[in-house]
Structure 1
Amino acid sequence: MGRAEERRARQRGGRRAAPPTRSSGTPSEGIAPGGRAAARKAAARGKKGAKKGKSGIRRLFTWKKILGTFLGFCLLGIGAFIVMYMMIDVPKGNAAAQKQSNIYKYSDGSPMAREGDTNREIVDLSEVPKPVQHTFVAAENKSFYTDSGVDLKGTARGLINTLSGKGKQGGSTITQQYVKNFYLDQDQTVTRKLKELVISLKVDRTTSKDKILAGYINTSYYGRGAYGIQAAAQDYYRVDAKDLNVQQGAYLAALLQAPSQYDWAAATPTGKKLVQARWNYVLDNMVGQGWLNKAKRDAMTFPVPKEPKAAPGLEGQKGYFVKLAKQQLEKQLIKQEGITQDEAEARVENSGWTFTLNIDKKKQAQLEKSVKTQLISQLDPKKRSVDKNVQAGAASVDPKTGKIVALYGGEDYTKHFISNANRTDYQPASTFKPVILAAALENASETQGGKAIGANTIYDGTSKRQVVDSNGDKVGFAPENEDDQDYGKQVTVQTAMDKSINSVFAQMGVDVGMDKVLETATKMGMDTGKLKALPAYTLGTMGASPIQMAGVYATLDNHGKQVTPTIIKSAEQGGTEVQMPDPIGDQVISREAADTVTSVLTGVVDDGTAKVSVAQNPSRDGRKVAGKTGTSDDNLSAWFTGYTPDLVTSVGLFGENYKTHAQSKMYKTAGLPRVNGGGFPAQIWAEYTFGVAGENTKFDLDTDQGAAVQPSWTPSPSASVSDTPSASATTKKPTTSAPATPVTPTTSAPVTPTTSAPVTPTTSAPVTPTTSPPNPFDPNGDQ
């Protein structure tokens, strides 16, 4: 009996039963066979009980319970979706009814402009060539002709992103985008996304794919105020939709991802690269889908769009105001709501917004008048072709509030679409030098000789002097001063700022550390995120706009608190106002550092490159002014950015070929050898600023350095030099334009030059150059 049960146990367990245990030395034979089986069963039950006792959590979370819970949630979700599907009907199309004019007002509330009715002309899909239709499918939804109208994975991702505050991250089919455009709105809410999903499924069941595609391309926004493919074809290529070719269709399809960013006429270099990459992506997808022959695709070239057509009611400077206001609102909506660029543009364009801008009518009128009298009246395009290529841009900011109170974007928005006030494709040149000094002061930097950098620190002003690092090794950078002029081996930082000496600030940038210089520039409002820490940037060779530079100098004027210029006073839609960011930010550099730079910059006006145009201007009336001139290599741009205690204004002149819009040199403009920052830009600045100036106030400076609190001075030759001089020249060609008038030293001690011909100090007549006459607007010259 016992053996039989043991055999059955072995058969059931697949192995021989364990031998009976012996207890207290009692022989196993002393246990009855039936007792051994019962003991084995009791032991097995004991082991199971022990396991259960050790893993109580497993009893709560078994795979069966987890699976059951998951299936329960799935059933609940399916049930809820069925109920939602039955309750939500396809609404009547309301997109056209939602499009309203945007209204723009001056800061005092008086009307400025109204963006007109929606620019849209509906066309039948049969009027759009089949290959052009395919460009939109290839761009947005390759499975459009076979899918059910929704992308469940993308929609789920969008819902999760919405719930987590991250916004939408792709996933919409053409059907879903059409539903959003025509039946719903651009709100990024869970309710709207769920409605979009249900309506898209229903629309796909009851509507042909051709009708959906026609609705999509006719309701989408393409930028330039154009809704629908017909308006876009006219605005970008001056043809009807029926006459578009594949290349043009691919551009319009690519444009939908970010209409303003990808508009070729206004795109940054990065924007142009992105839209070209998107264009290539569309055509490659068409080849992959069998809609385009590869040989034909390989032969295609990018179809550069036409210039924008004149915008009715936005002539003069108004169009530049409107464009900037929309850009700033879109940026804020993207940040607040987590929506994409194209969704933000669709939300703003012709959607019933009321904008009140910070533009002051009196200041704006004065700025426009100053550009006209000081620049435009001096140009004669019929006499000199170069005069056709000079563009002015300016931005004026209240440093205490960050308000853009006046702005000059170009000759006329209907003639020159790009805003010169907001473009970042030209170098700010020597207007960047104050940032280098601010970085030195903020970081308590020292020269190679261990001297603290300040207004009176001595540097070598030799032109083409090799810059050295902390080990005394040459870094391979030896910039030339304006007109290759030497200022001696012992000049102060104050004098170097006054005369804009490149060799000094190149060395200072390396002394501080270019990484710290760029970090300070970013804190003060410049876009330096992708720049490498190279010594060449000490000459201001990166890109910047007048608005950015006005913000940088406003931060100095505001004692180191960051100022981000804004044109929007308020933006309201349907009784709800969008909360715009505070233009006044954190303390990004210390007050002492900011005030010291301001003090030094007063010397540029009183004793330096802006002396003739600003300091000696009869309208100055003793007002305190700080500022800096700048002129880029090859005379492509010229700047003056300056400020009083209450107003900061940056003025830039840009050489731009009036036909190709490529950057061009400004030599011989208005019959002058070159355009310098101390010339036209400073003249415009002075007439504008002194024309709108209020009470004559003084800078409240917390510093004991700089020209505002002590006179400019040049040390005697016996003073110690802080870094190792070098006269080694680079292969850079000398400036070919006329040399500027030499500078008169400000003290009795002469400056010892490093060349054979010494500069003779004088207090009477300046030294006459031996070549063509100097620029009468800037006899000292600058970089």
Structure 2
Amino acid sequence: MGRADERRARQRGGRTTAPPPPPSGNPSPGVGGRAEARRAAQGKGRGRTKGKGKDGRSLIRRMFTWKKIVGTLIGLCLLGMGAFVVLYMMIDIPAGNADAQLQSNVYKYSNGSLMTRDGQRNREIVGLNKVPKEVRYTFVAAENKSFYQDSGVDLKGTARGLINTLSGKGAQGGSTITQQYVKNYYLTQDQTITRKLNELVISLKLDREKTKDYILAGYINTSYYGRGAYGIQAAAQAYYGIDAEKLDVQQGAYLAALLQAPNQYDWAIATPTGKKLVKERWNYVLNNMVGQDWLNKTKRDAMTFPTPKEPKAAPGMGGQVGYLVDAANNQLARQLVTQGTADNLDEALSMVRAGGWNITLNIDKKRQAALVKAATSQLTSKLDAKERSVDGDVQAGAASVDPKTGAVVAMYGGTDYYKHFRNNATRTDYQPASTFKPVILAAALDENAKTQNGTQITADTIYDGTSKRPVVDNGVKVGFAPENEDDGNYGPITVQTAMNKSVNSVFAQLGVDVGMQHVLKVGGQLGMDTEGLKAVPAQTLGTMGASPLQMAGVYATLDNHGKKVTPSIIKSVENSKRSVELPNPIGDQVISTEAADTVTSVLTGVVDDGTAKTSVRDNAERDGRKVAGKTGTSDNNKSAWFTGYTPDLVTSVGLFGEAQKNGAQVAMYGAGGLDRVNGGGFPAQIWAAYTFGVSDKDARFDLDTTQGAAVEPTVTPTPTVTPSQTPSETPSQTPSQTPTQSETPTETPTQTPTQTPTETPTETPTETPTGGLDDPFNPGG
């Protein structure tokens, strides 16, 4: 073996071997023979499959060489560049058409009669020299710091927008000031590939042909700032009551921040989250200015947030009209977002305000007038801010819904859109309080929940109604012991009586027995905004936010036997350029028919033997109508509610304590000359004055249930035996709460005044803490 062979042998395994014998017919193997033998040996055991795989890989390698891949990529790039050159040559800068396309929006009542029309654009063009230099910089700092250096487009942002549009993922983001100006003035808000490509080309051309000052002036003069204001001059007047040339840097930074989300960031209607976000945006703008050396840091550190003035309504929107128009516009905008026509609510609202819409509302002219009349006669006529300053802090809102169709047939947003810009019927910043209790019961019934000792929860289940009784979960106190209204102690009472008297301690325990996660889930199914809420016992007091419109939808779903009702103020929409598909307000079955009907049955007891009986049951205009409902009064008397329904109409009325000076939530103690404003007072009175004038007096509830005040009890209530529900009242109180004395009469089908005996025991001296609950201005919750 030669040295070369030895070396190869060592490399193969560290040992030498004799060369293989030559194949037959080759007595003198040379180098070629040895190579062939080696390949033959290597091929043994691989099989035919391996050979074919090798051939396949060879084919792939021949097809996809690096030269071919690079060549393909270069070809695609050249093709794309060529296509872009063609587009660039074909697309010219069009004439500005924002004002030319402006049309009126027409709003009609449900019968087709005209309500109002809008369309006058609040805009006054001002030259850039009329805007202080530092104020100009606030817009650049907010939207496009590289504005003075870029070529007018953000290629990454545009590519992302194209991809998102193709994939249906929504918002583009990252547009330059030039691109936004082009979209506002030359194009539309439509989210299409064609529009985005046009925007890209026109922006590049505009940046080459016009100065940066020209583009910036166009941008700040065409952008929408909210409050119906287009352009910086209109915005300066709308938010600060001054001309644009008098704006300071703080005010300019707020207006620049608004452009990101004018509806969400308007201080007058912003939620606490919205106010927090716009302040963060305001700080972001000013800090960017410091970073760009456009603002002195010492001067910036001394700046404070410039709170805007209260808004003024546009002409033709007085009385209730402005509230109705805003509600319709917002619903239409949400639908544009839902169906993918717009990326976000602010963009959709811009489309709505651009005009050309013919909107017929579900508002019934007769019922609308009746609701306004009821609010005036039962509330506003009794308030005198000159005599009692607190009277000026009382705001009322109401929404009325047809449970069979979901139509919002009437809405009361406040005394006058010119005097109070915010719609009290749609605001969600006040607690619904005890009007949430039916949701807890609905969850218990729909989930077939049991008490902690395994007893099925029904309207007849007995709980301990002692005030401040600690709530227990599987024998462990959860650290929550709610106080009942007026600290009233009830001892062992049924769920029916607890609903009638709005007993907090009972429903706190009931919520834990059901499971608060289930309670919030059912609340969401019924139409409340419970997403993100913590599943804690305190939620049983209705401490989340809700609007009269939302609560009307929740109770309409109960009235509709558990089929979801999503209130709709819009009946139909027409537009020559866009189509809108309105969803059916009546949805799927979200809770069982029996659960919904049982809650309705129980809620008839609130009217006939509970916190609403004086205002509703004994109302001379009731005329035999069947009624279910629930009162609610929040902590510190900041809100008071009555949400009730007949078989054909659901109406929710809310009163809210709102400070005249700054809009903060305040208590309503003393309003109207009363010690306290409660759900059984003004709200229930407004509800009754309206409902008994417009509802069908012959309509009857068709209930699929054997429980509750609307039907005779079929079994004797049996108390639960969990430690949390052990009766704690003295013997002198027990007889007044026995089922035979307090429950049976309230559950008679006729609901006649034969209920008098049920009132006597609860008003004896032994029940002094609860005696005030029959006072319409001092009910329990």
Q: What TM-score, normalized by structure 2, do the two folds share?
A: 0.90
User: 762-771 vs 97-106, which deviates more?
Assistant: 762-771
Query: Within the alignment, does 1:291 sit opposite 2:294 as a pair?
Result: yes
Offset, 1:270? 1.2
CA distance in 1, matches of 2:366, 2:348: 32
Offset, 1:116? 3.8
Offset, 1:299? 1.8
Out of 565, 571, 574, the position equivalent to 1:572 is 574
Query: Within the alignment, does 1:433 sit opposite 2:431 as a pair?
Result: no
Query: Within the alignment, does 1:137 sit opposite 2:140 as a pair?
Result: yes
* SS of alignment partner, residue 354 of structure 1: strand
CA distance in 2, matches of 1:44, 1:62: 31
Offset, 1:22? 3.8
CA distance in 1, matches of 2:632, 2:714: 20
CA distance in 2, matches of 1:34, 1:595: 97
* SS of alignment partner, residue 59 of structure 1: helix
The residue number in structure 2 matching 1:184 is 187
Unaligned runs of 5+ in 2: 744-756
Out of 581, 585, 592, the position equivalent to 1:583 is 585
CA distance in 2, matches of 1:423, 1:593: 29
Offset, 1:750? 7.7
The residue number in structure 2 matching 1:724 is 724
Offset, 1:744? 7.4
CA distance in 2, matches of 1:750, 1:699: 23
CA distance in 1, matches of 2:400, 2:758: 38
* SS of alignment partner, residue 93 of structure 1: coil
User: 1:761 and 1:584, CA in 2 relative to 1: closer, same or farther beyond 3 A?
Assistant: closer
Cα deviations across residues 68-96 of structure 1 (Å, max 9, x unaligned)? 22222211111111111111111111111
CA distance in 1, matches of 2:463, 2:456: 12
Out of 61, 81, 99, the position equivalent to 1:78 is 81
The residue number in structure 2 matching 1:533 is 535
Offset, 1:31? 3.2
The residue number in structure 2 matching 1:781 is 779
CA distance in 2, matches of 1:407, 1:186: 31
Query: Within the alignment, does 1:339 sit opposite 2:343 as a pair?
Result: yes
The residue number in structure 2 matching 1:101 is 104
One-letter code aligned to 2:202: I
Cα deviations across residues 83-111 of structure 1 (Å, max 9, x unaligned)? 11111111111111122221111111111
CA distance in 2, matches of 1:44, 1:134: 79
Offset, 1:340? 2.6
Unaligned runs of 5+ in 1: 730-741, 752-759
Offset, 1:568? 0.9
Out of 240, 253, 259, the position equivalent to 2:256 is 253
CA distance in 2, matches of 1:65, 1:537: 66
Q: For this pair of structures, how many residues does the alignment match? A: 751
CA distance in 1, matches of 2:542, 2:166: 44
CA distance in 2, matches of 1:77, 1:207: 27
Offset, 1:706? 0.6
One-letter code aligned to 2:329: K
Offset, 1:130? 1.2
CA contact (8 A) 1:262 1:271 kept: yes
Out of 680, 683, 686, the position equivalent to 2:682 is 680
CA distance in 1, matches of 2:759, 2:199: 80
CA distance in 2, matches of 1:501, 1:193: 59
Offset, 1:35? 4.7
Out of 306, 319, 324, the position equivalent to 2:322 is 319
User: 47-56 vs 590-599, which deviates more?
Assistant: 47-56
CA contact (8 A) 1:570 1:577 kept: no
Cα deviations across residues 734-765 of structure 1 (Å, max 9, x unaligned)? xxxxxxxx9976965489xxxxxxxx986499
Out of 214, 235, 257, the position equivalent to 1:232 is 235
CA contact (8 A) 1:494 1:712 kept: no
Offset, 1:660? 1.7
CA contact (8 A) 1:642 1:648 kept: yes
The residue number in structure 2 matching 1:635 is 637
Query: Within the alignment, does 1:304 sit opposite 2:302 as a pair?
Result: no
Query: Within the alignment, does 1:158 sit opposite 2:161 as a pair?
Result: yes
CA contact (8 A) 2:313 2:418 kept: yes
Out of 334, 359, 365, the position equivalent to 1:361 is 365
CA contact (8 A) 2:185 2:222 kept: yes
Out of 39, 62, 65, the position equivalent to 2:65 is 62
Offset, 1:64? 2.7
User: 1:695 and 1:568, CA in 2 relative to 1: closer, same or farther beyond 3 A?
Assistant: same
Offset, 1:127? 1.0
Cα deviations across residues 647-694 of structure 1 (Å, max 9, x unaligned)? 000001111111221111111111111111011100100010010012
Give runs of aligned pairs for residues 28-67 of structure 1, distance below 5 A: 31=28, 35=32, 52-53=54-55, 55=57, 56-67=59-70
User: 1:743 and 1:611, CA in 2 relative to 1: closer, same or farther beyond 3 A?
Assistant: farther
CA contact (8 A) 2:678 2:777 kept: no
User: 1:182 and 1:22, CA in 2 relative to 1: closer, same or farther beyond 3 A?
Assistant: same
User: 1:40 and 1:122, CA in 2 relative to 1: closer, same or farther beyond 3 A?
Assistant: farther
CA distance in 2, matches of 1:617, 1:527: 33
User: 675-684 vs 341-350, which deviates more?
Assistant: 341-350
* SS of alignment partner, residue 95 of structure 1: coil
CA distance in 1, matches of 2:104, 2:628: 43
Offset, 1:719? 4.9
One-letter code aligned to 1:467: V
User: 1:135 and 1:21, CA in 2 relative to 1: closer, same or farther beyond 3 A?
Assistant: farther
Give runs of aligned pairs for residues 669-748 of structure 1, distance below 5 A: 669-710=671-712, 719=719, 721-725=721-725
Offset, 1:117? 1.0
* SS of alignment partner, residue 652 of structure 2: strand
Cα deviations across residues 583-617 of structure 1 (Å, max 9, x unaligned)? 11111111111011001001111111111111111
One-letter code aligned to 1:452: Q
CA contact (8 A) 1:424 1:544 kept: yes
CA distance in 2, matches of 1:208, 1:20: 85
CA contact (8 A) 1:428 1:543 kept: yes
User: 1:620 and 1:73, CA in 2 relative to 1: closer, same or farther beyond 3 A?
Assistant: same
CA contact (8 A) 1:396 1:407 kept: yes
CA contact (8 A) 1:743 1:780 kept: no
The residue number in structure 1 matching 2:748 is none
CA distance in 1, matches of 2:772, 2:674: 8
Out of 202, 210, 213, the position equivalent to 2:213 is 210
* SS of alignment partner, residue 78 of structure 1: helix
The residue number in structure 1 matching 2:465 is 461
User: 1:44 and 1:443, CA in 2 relative to 1: closer, same or farther beyond 3 A?
Assistant: same
CA distance in 2, matches of 1:663, 1:332: 31
CA contact (8 A) 1:514 1:535 kept: yes
The residue number in structure 1 matching 2:493 is 491
CA contact (8 A) 1:461 1:501 kept: yes
Out of 173, 189, 193, the position equivalent to 2:196 is 193
User: 280-289 vs 137-146, which deviates more?
Assistant: 280-289
* SS of alignment partner, residue 564 of structure 2: strand
Out of 622, 625, 631, the position equivalent to 2:624 is 622
User: 1:106 and 1:712, CA in 2 relative to 1: closer, same or farther beyond 3 A?
Assistant: farther
The percent identity for this pair of structures is: 67
User: 1:781 and 1:744, CA in 2 relative to 1: closer, same or farther beyond 3 A?
Assistant: farther
CA distance in 1, matches of 2:381, 2:67: 86
Cα deviations across residues 33-68 of structure 1 (Å, max 9, x unaligned)? 575598599989999998851514333333332222
* SS of alignment partner, residue 177 of structure 1: helix
One-letter code aligned to 2:176: T
One-letter code aligned to 1:73: L
CA contact (8 A) 1:140 1:173 kept: yes
User: 1:219 and 1:575, CA in 2 relative to 1: closer, same or farther beyond 3 A?
Assistant: closer
RMSD: 3.3
CA contact (8 A) 1:673 1:774 kept: no
User: 1:652 and 1:743, CA in 2 relative to 1: closer, same or farther beyond 3 A?
Assistant: farther
Out of 88, 109, 112, the position equivalent to 2:91 is 88
Give runs of aligned pairs for residues 437-516 of structure 1, distance below 5 A: 437-470=441-474, 472-488=475-491, 490-516=492-518
CA distance in 2, matches of 1:228, 1:174: 14
